[in-house]
Amino acid sequence: MKRPAFWDTPNPTWQSLFLTPASLIYGIGRMLHVSFLKAGRTPVPLICVGNVTAGGAGKTPVALDLGARLKKTGRAVHFLSRGYGGRTFGPERVAVDRHTAAEVGDEPLLLARIAPTWVAVDRLAGARIAGNEGAEVVIMDDGFQSPRLVKDLSFLVFDGASGVGNGAMLPAGPMREPLGIALRRAQAAVIIGDDRRGLTRYIPKPVKVFQADMVPVPPMGDTPGRVVAFAGIGRPEKFFQSLTEAGYDLADTVAFPDHNFFAASELADLRTRAEHYGARLITTEKDFVRLTSLEREGITTMGLALRWRDEAALDQFLSDELNGGD
- Looking up residue 162, the CATH number of its domain turns out to be 3.40.50.300
Give yes or no for a contact between 62 and 190, defined as CB atoms under 8 angstroms apart: yes
Give the model's pLDDT for residue 221: 64
Domain around 314: 46-212+308-323
* Cβ–Cβ < 8 Å for 147, 34: yes
pLDDT at 324: 67
End-to-end CA distance of the chain: give it in Å, rounded: 45
Same domain, 176 and 275: no
DSSP string, 196-253: TT-GGGGS-TTSEEEEEEEEEEPPTT----EEEEEE-SS-HHHHHHHHHHTT-EEEEE
Q: How far apart are CA 131 and CA 149, in angstroms?
A: 14
H-helix or E-strand containing 34? helix 14-35
Q: How distant, in Å, are the alpha carbons of 68, 169, 242, 292 from that of 127?
A: 19, 29, 34, 30
Q: Are both 90 and 146 inside the same structural domain?
A: yes
Give me the pLDDT at residue 152, please.
Answer: 95
Whether 151 and 69 map to the same domain: the answer is yes
Q: Are residues 148 and 260 in the same domain?
A: no
Q: How far apart are CA 282 and CA 224, in angstroms?
A: 11
Q: pLDDT averaged over consecutive 10-residue blocks of the chain (326 residues)?
A: 81 90 89 76 94 86 96 96 90 94 93 96 94 96 89 95 91 92 95 93 94 83 86 88 90 92 95 96 94 93 91 96 72
Pair 58, 157 in one domain: yes
State the helix-helix crossing angle for 59-72 and 311-323, rounded to 10 degrees.
70
Residue 140 φ then ψ, to 5°: -100, 120
Domain annotation covers residue 312: yes
Please check whether residue 204 lies inside any domain of the structure: yes
Considering the domain architecture, whether residues 116 and 206 belong to the same structural domain is answered as yes
The secondary structure element, H or E, covering residue 155 is strand 153-159
Residue-wise pLDDT for 136-182, tens only, equals 999 999 989 988 899 999 999 999 988 999 999 999 999 999 999 99
For residues 89 and 105, what is the distance between their CA atoms, to the nearest angstrom? Answer: 11
pLDDT recorded at residue 246:
86
Residue 89 backbone zone (phi > 0: left; psi -120 to 50: alpha; other: beta)? alpha
At residue 314, φ and ψ (nearest 5 deg) are: -65, -45
Nearest to 64 by CA among 131, 141, 152, 159: 141
> Is the CB of residue 199 less than 8 Å from the CB of residue 182?
no
Together in a domain, 285 and 164: no
Mark whether 93 and 231 lie in a shared domain: no
